[in-house]
Amino acid sequence: MRPSESPPPRSMSPHGPGHRGSHCPCKGDPVRWSSAFIPTLRDDPADAEAVSHKLLVRAGLIRQLMAGHYSLTPLGFRALRKVEAIIREEMDKIGAQEFRLPCMHPKEIWEKSGRWSSVGEEMFRLKDRKQADLALGMTHEEIFAYHATEMRSYKQLPQLWYQFQTKFRDEARPKSGLLRVREFTMKDSYSFDLDQAGLDRAFDNHFDAYRRIFKRLGFEAVAVEASSGLMGGNQSIEFMMKSDAGEDWIAHCGQCGYAANVEKAQSQLPAAIDGAGLSTPEEFPTPGVRTIDDLAKMKGGAPAERQIKTLVYQVDEKTILVLLRGDHQLAEQKLVDQVEAQKIHPADAEEIQRLLGARPGSLGAVGRRDLYVIADEALRGRRDMVTGANKDGFHLRGVDVERDIDVKAWLDLREVRSGEGCPACGASFSVHKTIEVGHIFKLGTKYSVAMGAYVQDEKGGSVPMIMGSYGIGLERNLAAIVEANHDEKGICWPVNTAPYEVVVSVVKPNDVACHEAGEALYEKLKAAGIDVILDDRDERPGVKFNDADLVGFPYRVTIGPKGLAEGIVELVRRHDGEKRDLKLAHAAETIVEAVLDERR
RNA sequence: CGGGCCGUAGCGCAGUCUGGUAGCGCGCUUGACUGGGGGUCAAGAGGUCGCGGGUUCAAGUCCCGCCGGCCCGACCA
């Protein structure tokens, strides 16, 4: 049996106003609802949208301090520590060693990796009294790599280090309660290896550990290929949980299991069948046509899939044209990932007018050999297409993409959509909204080189350690559990992460028999190592039941005069409402068994 | 950072257009009855109307400025 993570419970005030009845502190010091701080709310908070946000606030687990910063109440903190304990167990299982690093860092170390300037406004920065520049850590690659410099020999590798630490990220838009915040706890781990095979092993170990973690937390997470973004490195996998409260889209194939972030996902399209087209493009008037849709609807126009969409992008100092099929959407991250640039953004109307001589709506790449033109793969080999003539109110038809356009690079740029063919097996896949609950990266040597984390290999040569980094945001995962485990009445905590596993609801606390039976059952459960809370409040039964449902304890035992008269108490399982009458004498054993059975 | 909405009692809201005693529901306090899904009765407590300035005899209400929050978008290790 797992040792209980609960601290020695103590009543907030032995003489508090809510205190009723007598109890001897030496008998186990019950956690009494009447003296606990559990600020449940009858109404949804007005400013919450996401289900987890509403429920965590309403059930009294969290309170907001300011946008993107939340306090956890004792109940919320208990749940978070259970999440933490599960993650810690799984990290220890793969041989990781726990650290605790500072969350405040000197500028110098971030300058060494180049990120002091590259991360920009998302990093909180401050000065100390000596005017030295400091940062609040948003991640710890630099700091762990810095400590890794103490290793000198390949014999000391591999190393796998981790910590739980507060991260600070000055998000432009914190939202959805705990899902997107500016201050949060992260489990971040870092692997240091001599060679690629070692990194692969550490990465795979994390992959497996993460699978186990999310399973134990109580939801399904899909592993997807992802863009590594600012982290650098060559491979990264995100763990995504399906949820409407999420903000990342992934493509997922139910047939073969292929999954990828839409920033990366590819798909199979049915081959387009084109007519012979014209021997040379022909201009034709399209008065008032400003969009793909306009042209599709216009008499003598062309369906979207026969059009070429021309986008103008500013890549650092250079302006480029990006071509897609008319009915396709650009996945901007794909562009960012495939062109080497610091900054990429759509060109503004003035720049477009200056460069192409027309407004958006009539743009095209035909004959523009002077511009750098990138085209999406879906346009390769297409003939008889329609595109803008770079003259307001005119388009060209009969365009043969490869013949008439000087395409400098063919890239995969389009955003996939539900119903398209899975690139792996061809079955039609779907695109879902998801919450990113974990992310693992193969970093390579970027940070070890920057920090000078080298070891001598067998031949005496100096080589940089190969790093990986692996993160899980705890509060976001807590919210994900709620997103995945709730109903119209409230949260349905899985036993593994419930703030308390059992609530003993005493229906009529002023009745001596009820009171004593409640206390006795509470003591038995406590002694058996169950996390249990005693609802001894002088409230109507309905209030207690609704609160218990709202907070979502996995099991509720109801003790009331009616049942007691027959020597019976009622056990209700929260997630499916299953009810069982238990003989008072054996109730504790049955409940303990039920709870232990669900701990994983 | 752009667009929209909002800030009045612990929570949810009305009152703002059209300036004139700051309200409702829930919650809270005390007492009584009650007690297996938010009960009833009675008596209470609780508000710098986000902040600052201005107009006015008079500002929750009108004007100016600021702060804070939510949503959409941009952004996101």
| Amino acid A46 CA to nucleotide B56 C1' distance, rounded Å | 35
Q: In Å, how far from its chain's centre is CA A519?
A: 41
Q: What CATH code is carried by the domain that includes residue A292?
A: 3.90.960.10
Sign of CA dihedral A376, A401, A363, A397: negative
Q: What CATH code is carried by the domain that includes residue A163?
A: 3.30.930.10
Residues A238 and A376 in one domain: no
Compute φ and ψ for A584, nearest 5 degrees: -50, -40
Residues A222 and A93 in one domain: yes
d(C-alpha A4, C-alpha A70), whole Å: 26
Residues A100 and A248 in one domain: yes
Q: What pLDDT was estimated at residue A194? A: 97
CB of A471 under 7 A from strand B? yes
A113 domain-assigned: no
What the block records as the tokens of A258 is: 């292929």
CB of A44 under 7 A from strand B? yes
Residues A468 and A588 in one domain: no
> Final residue of a domain: which of A411, A439, A469?
A411
A17 domain-assigned: no
DSSP A510-533: TSHHHHHHHHHHHHHHHHTT--EE
Compute φ and ψ for A498, nearest 5 degrees: -65, 140
CB of A510 under 7 A from strand B? yes
CB of A17 under 7 A from strand B? yes
Task: Please state, as a whole number, how many other Cβ atoms lie within 10 Å of the Cβ of residue A142.
Answer: 21
A145 domain-assigned: yes
What nucleotide is nearest A537 when CA is compared to C1'?
Answer: B35
Q: Specify the amino acid at residue A153.
A: S
- 3-class secondary-structure state, position A107: helix
What the block records as the tokens of A517 is: 């039976």
What nucleotide is nearest A511 when CA is compared to C1'?
Answer: B35
d(C-alpha A229, C-alpha A344), whole Å: 13
Task: Please state, as a whole number, how many other Cβ atoms lie within 10 Å of the Cβ of residue A21.
Answer: 15
Which positions 160-179 on chain A have a beta carbon less than 7 angstroms from any atom of strand B?
Answer: 167, 169, 171-176
Residues A257 and A286 in one domain: no
What nucleotide is nearest A115 when CA is compared to C1'?
Answer: B77
> Final residue of a domain: which of A422, A448, A482?
A482
Q: What pLDDT was estimated at residue A1? A: 37
Residues A509 and A387 in one domain: no
A298 domain-assigned: yes
Question: For residues A12 and A36, is the Cβ–Cβ distance under 8 A?
Answer: yes
How many structural domains comprise chain A? 3
| Amino acid A13 CA to nucleotide B13 C1' distance, rounded Å | 35
CB of A301 under 7 A from strand B? no
Residues A160 and A224 in one domain: yes
Residues A391 and A441 in one domain: no
Task: Please state, as a whole number, how many other Cβ atoms lie within 10 Å of the Cβ of residue A9.
Answer: 17
- Structural domain including A551 reads 25-30+500-598
Per this entry, what is the length of chain A?
600
| Amino acid A499 CA to nucleotide B38 C1' distance, rounded Å | 23
A386 domain-assigned: yes
A114 domain-assigned: no
Question: For residues A309 and A395, is the Cβ–Cβ distance under 8 A?
Answer: no
What nucleotide is nearest A562 when CA is compared to C1'?
Answer: B36
Residues A403 and A476 in one domain: no
Q: What is the pLDDT along chain A (600 residues), one digit of tens a residue?
A: 343 433 333 333 333 333 333 444 444 467 899 999 999 999 999 989 999 999 999 999 999 999 999 999 999 999 999 999 999 999 999 999 999 999 999 999 999 999 999 888 899 999 999 999 999 999 999 999 999 999 999 999 999 999 999 999 999 899 999 999 999 999 999 999 999 999 999 999 999 999 999 999 999 999 998 865 555 557 889 999 999 999 899 999 999 989 988 888 899 999 888 988 899 999 999 998 888 888 999 988 899 999 999 999 888 778 889 999 999 988 888 888 888 776 778 888 778 888 888 888 889 999 999 999 999 999 999 999 999 999 999 999 999 999 999 999 999 999 999 999 999 999 999 999 999 999 999 999 999 999 999 999 999 999 999 999 999 999 999 999 999 999 999 999 999 999 999 999 999 999 999 999 999 999 999 999 999 999 999 999 999 999 999 999 999 999 999 999 999 999 999 999 999 999 999 999 999 999 999 998
CB of A16 under 7 A from strand B? no
Q: In Å, how far from its chain's centre is CA A458?
A: 41
| Amino acid A177 CA to nucleotide B3 C1' distance, rounded Å | 22
Q: Specify the amino acid at residue A189.
A: S
CB of A523 under 7 A from strand B? no
Residues A257 and A292 in one domain: no
User: A385: which residues sit within 8 A by CB, 6+ positions away?
Assistant: A274, A277, A302, A306, A307, A308, A379, A397, A398, A399, A400, A401
Question: Given the DSSP bridges, would you call strands A235-242 and A430-444 parallel, antiparallel or unpaired?
Answer: antiparallel
Q: What pLDDT was estimated at residue A361? A: 86
Chain B: nucleotides below 7 Å from protein CB are 1-2, 10-13, 25-27, 29-30, 34-39, 68-77
Structure letter (DSSP) for residue A187: E
A495 domain-assigned: no
| Amino acid A182 CA to nucleotide B52 C1' distance, rounded Å | 29
Q: What pLDDT was estimated at residue A341? A: 72
Tokens 């216009």 identify what position?
A298
ipTM of the modeled complex: 0.95
- Nearest protein residue, CA measured to C1' of B29: A17
| Amino acid A198 CA to nucleotide B3 C1' distance, rounded Å | 50
Nearest alpha-carbon partner for A374 in A280, A296, A309, A316: A309
Which positions 95-134 on chain A have a beta carbon less than 7 angstroms from any atom of strand B?
Answer: 119, 122-123
CB of A560 under 7 A from strand B? yes
| Amino acid A548 CA to nucleotide B7 C1' distance, rounded Å | 32
Residues A320 and A460 in one domain: no
A99 domain-assigned: yes
Residues A246 and A326 in one domain: no
Which positions 214-243 on chain A have a beta carbon less than 7 angstroms from any atom of strand B?
Answer: 228-231
| Amino acid A431 CA to nucleotide B26 C1' distance, rounded Å | 42
